Amino acid sequence: MIRIAAVGDLHYGVDTRNLLRPGFEHLAERADVLLLAGDLTRCGDPAEAQVLAEEIRDLPIPRVAVLGNHDYHADQEDRVRGILEEAGVRVLEGESIVLEIDHARLGIAGSKGFGGGFTGACGSDFGEPEMKAFVGHTKKVADRLENALRRLDTDLKVALLHYAPVEQTLVGERLEIYPFLGSYLLAEAVDRAGADLVFHGHAHHGIERGMTPGGIPVRNVAQPVIRHAYNVYSLEPKLERDRVLAAS
């Protein structure tokens, strides 16, 4: 069994030093990997990223992250990524990583994602160049997420996002802002490529649990939603599940 600690929307600032450090104190006893679902800083200031980097630098388990819209605000996302990676955090954007955990291989594909809305109330790449660019960006990141998932040949596959792939986890947010909180294209990409679990953040007033149209569990791990330093989710490799079924 692989135990995944996940949290997003930490929104670290220069005045939040040691904010979550007590919560991470026993992390290695409870989880095998830590996933960070974007909006790790308030405004994408490298100094904010440095504070978070110091908080998690010495954690003795793998750390994997995607950036969020806040992390892009200062147009210094490359520096934010560099600071986190120097502290041992693997930052993904249309990329994947494979971790060997307890004799099983966990594949993680990550992307910030983007907006656009959901089936029946979504934007399309029609009309003005600005609208084409908006929806076109979502299509691009969804395609890269799908390709990253397809490349994984592992016992378990997880998709790590910032924006939401389904609308169920947005319940509690204002309907008017759903198009800016995620896109159905992300869920379609996951369903086509396959995954065991999807994590996202971004929706502070949403709920934790949802599911893609193809039946893949989705978890909104924005810190204002889970109200903890992290939540832990357990996944059992398919081989182990098959052994249990065979034995029974």
Is residue 208's pLDDT more than 70?
yes
Comparing 112 with 23, which gets the higher pLDDT?
Answer: 112
- Beta strand 63-66 pairing with 33-37: parallel
Instruction: Cite the beta strand spans of the chain per DSSP E.
Output: 2-7, 33-37, 63-66, 89-91, 95-101, 104-111, 117-118, 121-122, 156-161, 197-200, 209-211, 217-220, 231-235
Sorted by where each begins, the domain ranges of the chain are 2-247
CATH superfamily entry for domain 2-247: Metallo-dependent phosphatases (3.60.21.10)
pTM of the entire predicted model: 0.94
The pLDDT value given to residue 239: 55
Mean pLDDT of 165-185: 97
> How deeply is 77 buried, as exposed, middle or buried, from its count of CB atoms within 10 A (0-12, 13-18, 19+)?
buried
